[in-house]
Amino acid sequence: MVQKLPWDNLSFGMSSPRDPRLPPGQRWVEELIEYSAGGRPAIDEKEWRFAVDGRVAKPLSFSWEEFQSLPHVDLTVDFHCVTTWSIKDSPWRGVRLNDLLTMADVHPVARFVFAECYGGYTTNFPLETARRPDVLLADGYRGKPLPRMFGGPLRLVVPPLYAYKSAKWVNRITLLEEDRLGFWEENGYSNHADPWKEQRHTADDRR
Ligand SMILES: Nc1nc2c(c(=O)[nH]1)N[C@H]1C(S)=C(S)[C@@H](COP(=O)(O)O)O[C@H]1N2
Ligand SMILES: [Mo]
């Protein structure tokens, strides 16, 4: 626990008071910085599929057209990468993951989600997070179709956690009883990934 001191919110000289929307150790940047552990997979819209499976009563599978017909929402959120950049008010459009979980009728034993992507990237987070209204399957960004470099045609946007949980080129979400670590979670990055607790590395999960 870091103790709050009375002078923490005062400014001295040129320094400005802490921005309450900026998590510790982060700085604002103007635009997403492209990150990919495995190139930029190209997916033909005719071949594209997205599935929700595992511990659900009604497994789902969508073609691109079927996914387009789902109710979409516009959502503006702050987005934080573990490498210390953050974006304020990033404007996404997509389908709420919670809506798909409701359609799939998640079994009460399920507690985690595991996301798999075209290109092989994986990540994981708790079902409780997946149900939040700000967690999207985004196919739009800044009023346009989501560009391939930023995960198009479809990516996760999980604003409450560091951005490595926001799987790009996502094609499957599996509901699990037991947690299963994804790519960065297996390679030294925090499983919990809460920017407000500054959980960057595996060891930070103790706080
Ligand atoms: N499929 C896939 N998704 C991914 C990644 C990746 O390497 N592959 N990198 C993650 C990381 S570390 C970050 S910071 C964000 C970056 O999103 P951006 O490239 O749109 O800025 O995507 C996340 N999603
Ligand atoms: Mo990242």
CATH number of 50-204: 3.90.420.10
**To test ligand 1's pocket by mutation, which of 26, 30, 32, 35 has the most ligand atoms within 8 angstroms of CB?**
35
User: CA angle 72-21-34, nearest 5°?
Assistant: 60
Using the predicted structure, report yes or no on whether residue 1 has a pLDDT greater than 70.
no
Nearest ligand atom owner, CA of 39? 1
Do 125 and 192 touch, CB atoms closer than 8 A?
no
| Cβ neighbours of 132 (radius 10 Å) | 14
Percent of the chain with pLDDT over 90: 90
Task: Choose among 98, 121, 97, 100: nearest CA to 181.
Answer: 121
Cβ < 6 A, ligand 1 pocket: 32-37, 81, 117, 119, 121, 150-151, 163-164, 166-169
Nearest C-alpha neighbor of 25 from the set 79, 90, 86? 86
Judged against a pLDDT cut of 90, whether residue 6 lies above it is answered with no
Nearest bound ligand to the CA of residue 33: 1
Structure tokens at 178: 């037991």
Task: Out of 32, 116, 168, give the residue to mutate to test ligand 1, the one with the largest number of ligand atoms within 8 Å of its CB.
Answer: 168
Question: Is residue 177 scored above 70 in pLDDT?
Answer: yes
Three-state DSSP at 112 gives strand
Residue 206, φ and ψ in degrees, nearest 5 = -75, -20
> Does pLDDT of 16 surpass 50?
yes
CB atoms within 10 A of CB 10: 10
- Backbone φ and ψ for 128, nearest 5 degrees, come out as -55, -40
pLDDT band at 145 (very low <50, low <70, confident <90, very high): very high
